[in-house]
Amino acid sequence: MTENASAVLIGKKPIMNYVLACITFFHSGAKEVSIKARGRSISRAIDVAEVVRHRFLPDAKIKSISIGTDRFLPQDQEDGATATNVSTIEITLIR
């Protein structure tokens, strides 16, 4: 991610909250906005990007989509405790 990019971290709030955050970043002068999510929020991140592109800012384009996996080690090392893998996505929109 570049230094001037703004990031919107997706969680459990309604989609329109994140759409408003993206639009606010663009209207405040940001050239690109990065939408980041992990786990079950990935589908919500995709919905946010699509709503921004199709309903509010038709001139916004997808610059890149990167996917990955975060590996979390257990805090307490119990017998049989294994690391947990969580999928991640980052969608970068430009205008």
Q: Please give the chain's pLDDT, 95 residues, in tens.
A: 345 569 999 999 999 999 999 999 999 999 999 999 999 999 999 999 999 999 999 999 999 999 999 998 888 777 778 889 999 999 999 99
Q: Is 50 exposed, middle or buried (0-12, 13-18, 19+ CB in 10 A)?
A: middle
Q: Tell me the CATH number at 34.
A: 3.30.110.20
Per the structure, the count of domains in the chain is: 1
In a domain, 23, yes or no: yes
What CA–CA distances, in Å, run from 88 to 65, 68, 72?
A: 11, 5, 13
- Specify the pTM: 0.88
Task: Please report the pLDDT score of residue 75 as a whole number.
Answer: 81
User: Which residue range is the domain that position 87 belongs to?
Assistant: 6-94
**In the beta sheet, which residues pair with residue 94?**
32, 61
In a domain, 18, yes or no: yes
In a domain, 22, yes or no: yes
In a domain, 39, yes or no: yes
In a domain, 1, yes or no: no
